[in-house]
């Protein structure tokens, strides 16, 4: 009996890719087998287009949602792209610079960092790695975390999905949220006041809204969709799909919002879930 075609949305970091930037072989195999069975698979990530490296595309995907929903691509064609205007980017960059906060621009053309980002971000990167259980976290480098980061590039741009910045203190986020009240303000690297980074982007954009747009573009229904994730930002994606699957390495909130929890990213969790859902 022929299986009903499904559309599958995969978060990248912590779901498809472990915290060392590696794709477990079982995860790559699950993707290939499911596509061979006729299902469509899209990555749905906070990463911008430039951060989806060739080795990821080589696994085989039908397209991507990037920038936590700001960019949609299907079969190599751009379906939708909502990004900061030049004026918005300039306003945010100037405020961060005046406050002495180091940052980077997440653009489809690359990641563009402020002058002292590598030095100032190092403690946060190592703490983030430690929280994710990385064995060699104390030796983690910014260069390893962001291998293609561009320093000295143009920081006033009209192709930026969002801007992330190092939090010297949680008050930095609170002040940014007040300053840019008409925009989406978030944190990552930890919950609440333990967060390590803040970010600013366009309001009204989530992984969930992007999933809905892509489903409409493809003429598919919510009942055809399955989402996989490991973080709070993935909950909107679960809500836009018939089935939401959380990785065991994910936080409490995303696991509570899921229809079921699969194994850890490093313990063949993605493959186990594909088997349970009979995707091949």
pLDDT tens digits for 36-49?
999 999 999 999 99
DSSP string, 113-149: E-TTHHHHHHHHHHHHHHHTT-TTGGG--HHHHSTT-
> Crossing angle of helices 269-276/25-36, nearest 10°?
30
- Name the pTM for this structure: 0.90
Three-state DSSP at 8 gives strand
Q: pLDDT digit string (tens) for 22-79?
A: 999 999 999 999 999 999 999 999 999 988 989 999 999 999 999 999 999 999 999 9
Number of structural domains the chain divides into: 2
Point out the domain boundary residue: 201, 217, 252.
201
Whose CA is closest to 230, among 202, 257, 251, 258?
A: 251
Question: Are 188 and 231 contained in the same domain?
Answer: no
CB neighbour class for 203 (10 Å; exposed up to 12, middle 13-18, buried from 19): exposed
Mean pLDDT of the region 147-176: 95
Is residue 2 a part of any domain in this protein? no
Residue 1 lies in a domain: no
Last residue of a domain, one of 155, 178, 201: 201
In a domain, 192, yes or no: yes
Residue 13 has pLDDT above 80, yes or no: yes
Measured CA to CA, the distance from residue 103 to residue 163 in angstroms comes to 7
Mean per-residue pLDDT, 227-245: 96
CA 2 to chain centre: 33
Same domain, 192 and 111: yes
């Amino acid at each position: 009996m022929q299986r009903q075609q499904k559309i599958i949305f995969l978060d990248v970091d912590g779901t498809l890719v472990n915290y060392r930037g590696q794709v477990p072989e079982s995860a790559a195999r699950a993707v290939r087998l499911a596509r061979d069975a006729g299902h469509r698979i899209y990555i749905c990530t906070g990463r911008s287009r430039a951060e989806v490296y060739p080795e990821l595309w080589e696994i085989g995907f039908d397209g991507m949602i990037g920038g936590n929903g700001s960019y949609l691509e299907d079969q190599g064609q751009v379906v939708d792209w909502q990004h900061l205007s030049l004026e918005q980017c300039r306003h945010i960059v100037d405020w961060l610079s005046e406050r002495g906060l180091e940052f980077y621009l997440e653009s489809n053309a690359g990641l563009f960092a402020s002058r002292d980002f590598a030095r100032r971000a190092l403690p946060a990167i190592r703490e983030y790695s430690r929280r994710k259980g990385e064995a060699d976290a104390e030796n983690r480098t910014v260069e390893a975390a962001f291998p293609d980061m561009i320093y000295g590039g143009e920081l006033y741009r009209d192709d930026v999905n969002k801007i992330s910045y190092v939090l010297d203190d949680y008050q930095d986020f609170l002040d940014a949220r007040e300053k840019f009240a008409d925009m989406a303000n978030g944190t990552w690297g930890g919950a609440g006041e333990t967060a390590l980074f803040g970010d600013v982007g366009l309001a009204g954009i989530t992984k969930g809204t992007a999933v809905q747009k892509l489903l409409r573009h493809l003429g598919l229904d919510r009942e055809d969709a399955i989402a996989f994730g490991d973080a709070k930002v993935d909950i909107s994606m679960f809500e836009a799909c018939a089935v939401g699957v959380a990785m065991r390495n994910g936080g409490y909130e995303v696991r509570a919002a899921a229809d079921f929890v699969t194994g850890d990213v490093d313990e063949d969790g993605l493959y186990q879930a594909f088997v349970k859902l009979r995707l091949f």
